[in-house]
Amino acid sequence: MEPIVVKTIDARLSDFLLFQTRLDKFQAQSAESAEAPIPHLAFLRVELSRLRPGMSDFLFKVSSPGPTPGAKPTVVTLRGERSFAKLEGLVKAANVIFKEMKKREDDTHAWDNADAEYLAKMLVNQCKFFILNLNTETLSFTTDALH
């Protein structure tokens, strides 16, 4: 089954996904004033959050840092399911994320050449932990840089 993309409003997104931390704001300001530009890495922030405490249903939110430091990030939300605990399910989810990022014209990465299996391998341990531990309401983490 193909993962389902869910529409979310910005008011329901966490500061973590929106890159709204003091460090991120500092980096955006320093990038504007620096003579040499800061290299922009294509990494993702991921947040898994339960719809209600104790339920197995959850939202799988992925955020890119935006095309330039301080720019508004692109956020893709999928409906999480048990198949995300396995590598094959996460490969399908990664392909959907790549299609959505390309459709939303996100320039942080060349989404046509993105490796879905590489991203799935970065996500599988955290997703498995979250899915098996129903008492965990939210899990936020940052991936390694995509290649």
Q: Is residue 147 domain-resident?
A: no
Of 82, 46, 44, nearest in space to 64 by CA: 44
Q: Which of 61, 65, 76 is nearest to 108 (CA)?
A: 65
Per-residue pLDDT tens over the stretch 30-86: 555 555 555 556 789 999 999 888 888 899 999 988 766 667 788 999 999 899 999
Residue 123 placed within a domain? yes
Q: What is the pLDDT of residues 77-133, one digit of tens each?
A: 999 989 999 999 999 999 999 999 999 988 888 888 889 999 999 999 999 999 999
pLDDT cut 70: percent of the chain above it: 79
How many domains does one find in the chain? 1
Residue 114 within any structural domain of the chain: yes
Q: Is residue 88 in some structural domain?
A: yes
Mapped onto helix, strand or coil, the DSSP state of residue 140 is strand
What does residue 2 show for φ and ψ, rounded to 5 degrees?
-75, 135
- Domain span at residue 45 reads 5-142
Structure tokens at 133: 């531990």
**Residue 126 belongs to some domain of the structure:** yes
Q: How many residues appear in the chain?
A: 147
